[in-house]
Chains A and B, each alone.
Chain A
Amino acid sequence: DTAVSQTPKYLVTQMGNDKSIKCEQNLGHDTMYWYKQDSKKFLKIMFSYNNKELIINETVPNRFSPKSPDKAHLNLHINSLELGDSAVYFCASSQVLDSVYEQFFGPGTRLTVL
């Protein structure tokens, strides 16, 4: 019974391609997030959605577009992939949009751009 799941787990693709990473949570949470773990192992927030509405949009290239079809799903679409996009991307969810509540993380998607 995976609480927060991501697919695929690994993604290897050529520069210039467009790809999507999917995230689903079965916890009934209202808020979902995307994080990027960069080469220095930092976890940096990219986006957060609350009830399908974009709340946080950090300084992320507009090639990255999150889509939330419903509050249980938050997908990340990346256009024109670049070498620097190679990273591990983590999805997370929390009960409400309030950082007092703990976040539950997905297993991560390792994206490699060749």
Chain B
Amino acid sequence: ILNVEQSPQSLHVQEGDSTNFTCSFPSSNFYALHWYRWETAKSPEALFVMTLNGDEKKKGRISATLNTKEGYSYLYIKGSQPEDSATYLCASSNRDDKIIFGKGTRLHILP
């Protein structure tokens, strides 16, 4: 059984500051790591999919890194804006295509 852990559970960041949070996952039988952005009352929206150790992906002010050997991924947000307030979900899948989601990191941007 895969366990995907995300930390912190909740985070308050001042507008304009940069921040990052972590997703850890079992490295054995790893296949892919997903990051989703989930706004309240909406559905999760895919940000990144990463498969290779050392992968780094970027979309605007948001970027993510992947370390498959030690089983962690970081999500970075540079210069936080109010619209970044959301829950960021991480999901890991193994080679049997079983996808497990973490509980998410709830990000609040303070004006």
Contacts and interface: CB of A to CB of B under 8 A. Distances in A.
Interface residues of A, number: 24
| Interface class of chain A by DSSP | loop
Nearest to A42: B103
B101 A44 contact: yes
Nearest to A107: B43
Interface string B72-111: 0000000000000000010101000111110110000000
Given A40-B103, A41-B104, A43-B89, A103 B46 contact: yes
A100 B44 CA distance: 16
A10 to B, nearest CB: 12
Contacts of A64: none
A66 interface: no
Interface of B: 31-32, 34, 36, 42-46, 49, 51, 89, 91, 93, 97-101, 103-104
Interface of A: 4, 35, 40-45, 48, 55-56, 90, 97-108
